[in-house]
């Protein structure tokens, strides 16, 4: 029976090394994942660190797999691995070169960018979950934790705006203003600069509400869509907004993206 051989895979990275480790595991399993041991060396940013790894590698039967984007450091590793007859595989290099040839742009050569993208992704997910949790006044306690609070009568795009802004990493709560329901006290306890009032043209709102009722299989002449009811709601909401002293945006005939752009400008102090 032929003796089974194994090798160690040294994974080097100028960041966490997760990418190189995943590739190394995928390759190792094609031979014997238990026999081929993977040893990770993250945050390799100095030549001295490479020297230490090379010295250790010369005493082992091993392969070096690496994701190092700094050109000088990468070349230093390749050169010294070659001198010591250690196979070294540049996992990202060929793909970076291919993208560079197609785009005619040079890679940034900066470590950790993927991790930064991940952090941005998780912030976005957190903001989206926040918008869902505190949508339509479900829990007014979210008002004090929000980056932005949208207030307005029904069908003034509060929910789609909340979701759009959440994709810009903003935690948004929205509160419906209804004459029969006292507004939550929380909206009077935070800075008016965090609150955006939304209003609209009553005729346009009348049509939107009628269509909404039809889509639900309800009578489009219900009080919810009557022009008198709408005028009453808008007047009441206007009074609340004046009391708070918050900016007010008329969303009539505006796309969500356009209104969101105005909101972003307001909260950045440029409107």
- Which SS3 state, helix, strand or coil, does residue 143 take? helix
Structure tokens given for 150: 């949208």
The answer to whether 191 is annotated as binding is: no
The answer to whether 168 is annotated as binding is: no
C-alpha 50/C-alpha 13 separation (Å) is: 10
The answer to whether 153 is annotated as binding is: yes
The answer to whether 6 is annotated as binding is: no
Backbone angles phi, psi at 129, to 5 degrees: -60, -35
Structure tokens given for 220: 């489009």
Interacting residues of 25 by C-beta distance below 8 A, sequence separation 6+: 33, 38
The answer to whether 252 is annotated as binding is: no
Pairing of strands 62-67, 88-90: parallel
- Residue 36, Cβ density class (10 Å: 0-12 exposed, 13-18 middle, ≥19 buried): buried
C-alpha 211/C-alpha 154 separation (Å) is: 13
Q: Hey, CA dihedral for 144, 149, 151, 157, is it positive or negative?
A: negative
The answer to whether 71 is annotated as binding is: no
Angle in degrees, CA 192, 201, 181, rounded to 5 = 55
* 8 A C-beta contact, residue 63 and residue 28: no
Kindly list the distances between the CA atom of residue 56 and the CA atoms of 14, 22, 40, 223, in Å, as whole numbers in the listed order. 18, 22, 13, 80
The answer to whether 157 is annotated as binding is: yes
C-alpha 113/C-alpha 64 separation (Å) is: 22
The answer to whether 159 is annotated as binding is: yes
In the annotated binding site for ADP, the residues are 152-159
* Binding site as annotated, residues: 152-159
């Amino acid at each position: 029976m032929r003796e089974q051989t194994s090798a160690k895979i040294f994974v080097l990275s100028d960041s966490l090394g997760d990418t190189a480790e995943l590739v190394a595991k995928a390759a190792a399993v094609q031979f014997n994942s238990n026999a081929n041991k993977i040893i990770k060396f993250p945050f390799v940013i100095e030549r001295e660190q490479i020297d230490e790894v090379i010295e250790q590698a010369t005493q082992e039967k091993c392969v070096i797999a690496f994701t190092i984007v700094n050109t000088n450091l990468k070349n230093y590793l390749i050169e010294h691995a070659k001198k010591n007859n250690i196979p070294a595989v540049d996992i990202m290099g060929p793909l970076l070169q291919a993208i560079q040839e197609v785009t005619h742009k040079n890679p940034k050569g900066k470590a950790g960018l993927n991790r930064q993208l991940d952090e941005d992704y998780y912030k976005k997910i957190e903001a989206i979950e926040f918008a869902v949790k505190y949508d339509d006044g479900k829990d007014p306690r979210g008002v004090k934790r929000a980056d932005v609070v949208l207030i307005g009568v029904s069908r003034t795009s509060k929910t789609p705006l909340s979701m759009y802004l959440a994709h810009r990493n903003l935690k948004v709560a929205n509160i419906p203003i209804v004459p029969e329901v006292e507004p939550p006290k929380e909206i009077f306890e935070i800075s008016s600069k965090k609150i955006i009032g939304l209003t609209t043209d009553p005729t346009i709102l009348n049509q939107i509400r009628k269509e909404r009722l039809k889509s639900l299989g309800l009578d489009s002449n219900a009080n919810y869509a009557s022009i008198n009811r709408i005028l009453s709601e808008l007047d009441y909401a206007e009074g609340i907004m004046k009391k708070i002293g918050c900016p007010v945006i008329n969303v009539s005939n505006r796309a969500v993206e356009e209104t969101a752009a105005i909101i972003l400008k307001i909260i950045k102090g440029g409107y």
